[in-house]
């Protein structure tokens, strides 16, 4: 065996000995509220130990990174004793960002995540993930640049599009001598409740819905019509791909308030369902002091009117 072959073999074994896997690759919250705008980048966090990869310089050197998470392939006990959010890989992994250093700021059309390295190996490295709002893509690296020891990756993503911070006051309803505060039922980050419908002589389906909010999940499927926001949607899983049909929008709300009861009637502005009628999502929330929130029953009657009966302590007058 030649000396050069020995060196190569030794370097290979050395690199293998440096790899360590923690098994927990989510390192920080990826939901941010800045200037009354909400950004939720958590769908972009790689949780299986993999990483995003792009290249820099004319040599096309690899740059590995994660979003609010760590990259196991970046571990190198000789240059960093902690998990890495990003690294360069040639000739050995060098940390470019530590997950614990994560900061977030708004940019002109999205959000920027910034990280610094805990290692001072040669220089103090840092990286910026500059996300630009783009509703046409989940994740697309558009460019990569390096200025001395600062690395900048530009990414287009629909998850970088800001959403208004929920207004709790919009979920306080007044009726005749009664006020009901349903704001505790507003879910964070535009997540949703769901209810299963069982039509007679037809397939069952689910309606995903929000109380005084919007549902992002409805836009993750093929849409019957490209819609901006959803308060609720019907998912037709019997079709391929699954079809999302809007059943209500947050701003088209008619509320009826009485003692121990709130009926929230949301109207859709998508394609008419039949005979020119638009779809409705009716949330009938009745008082049950022992329950935070529970779907009791569902009914589609008449056609394209989706009624969901709910029990909740927040519908109690006293």
Closest CA to 63 of 178, 145, 121: 145
Q: Where are the domains of the chain?
A: 18-160, 166-315
pLDDT at site 196: 95
pLDDT at site 203: 81
Residue 85 · residue 69 · CB < 8 Å: yes
Closest CA to 20 of 68, 84, 63: 84
Residue 179 · residue 166 · CB < 8 Å: no
Q: What are the average pLDDT values for consecutive 10-residue runs of the chain, which has 318 residues?
A: 41 39 64 83 88 91 94 79 88 91 94 92 91 93 95 95 75 90 90 90 88 87 72 85 87 91 91 79 97 96 93 92
Q: Report the topology of domain 166-315.
A: Cation-dependent Mannose-6-phosphate Receptor; Chain A (2.70.130)
pLDDT at site 8: 39
CATH of domain 18-160: 2.70.130.10
| Backbone φ/ψ region at 258: left (φ over 0), alpha (ψ -120 to 50), beta | beta
Long-range contacts of 268-272 (CB under 8 A, 24+ apart): 269/227, 270/224, 270/225, 270/227, 270/245, 270/246, 271/224, 271/225
Look-up of token digits 């990414």 = 155
Asked if domains 18-160 and 166-315 share a fold, the reply is yes
pLDDT at site 24: 55
pTM, two decimal places:
0.55
């Amino acid at each position: 065996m030649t000396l050069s072959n020995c060196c190569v073999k030794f370097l290979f074994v050395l690199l293998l000995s440096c790899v360590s896997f923690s098994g927990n690759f989510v390192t920080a919250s990826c939901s941010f509220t800045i200037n009354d705008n909400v950004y939720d980048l958590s769908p972009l966090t790689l949780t299986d130990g993999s990483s995003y990869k792009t290249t820099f310089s004319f040599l096309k050197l690899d740059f590995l990174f994660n979003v609010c998470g760590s990259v196991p392939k970046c571990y190198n006990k000789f240059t960093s004793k902690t998990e890495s959010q990003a690294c360069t890989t040639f000739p050995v992994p060098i940390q470019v960002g530590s997950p614990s250093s994560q900061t977030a700021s708004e940019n002109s059309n999205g959000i920027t995540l910034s990280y610094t390295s805990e290692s001072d190996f040669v220089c103090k490295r840092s990286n910026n993930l500059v996300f630009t709002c783009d509703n046409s893509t989940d994740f697309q690296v558009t460019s990569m640049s390096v200025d001395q020891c600062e690395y900048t990756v530009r990414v287009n993503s629909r998850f970088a599009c800001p959403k208004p911070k929920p207004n709790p006051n919009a979920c306080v309803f007044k009726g005749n001598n009664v006020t009901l505060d349903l704001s505790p039922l507003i879910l964070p980050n535009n997540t949703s409740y769901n209810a299963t419908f069982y039509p007679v002589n037809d397939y069952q389906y689910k309606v995903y819905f929000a109380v005084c909010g919007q549902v992002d999940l409805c836009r993750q499927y093929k849409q019957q019509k490209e819609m901006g926001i959803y308060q609720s949607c019907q998912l037709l899983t019997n079709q391929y791909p699954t079809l999302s049909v809007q059943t209500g929008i947050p701003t088209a709300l008619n509320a009826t308030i009485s003692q121990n009861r709130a009926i929230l009637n949301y109207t859709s502005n998508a394609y008419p369902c039949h005979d020119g009628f638009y779809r409705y999502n009716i949330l009938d929330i009745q008082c049950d002091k022992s329950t935070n929130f529970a779907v009791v029953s569902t009914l589609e009657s008449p056609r394209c009117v989706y009624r969901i009966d709910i029990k909740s302590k927040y519908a109690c007058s006293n």
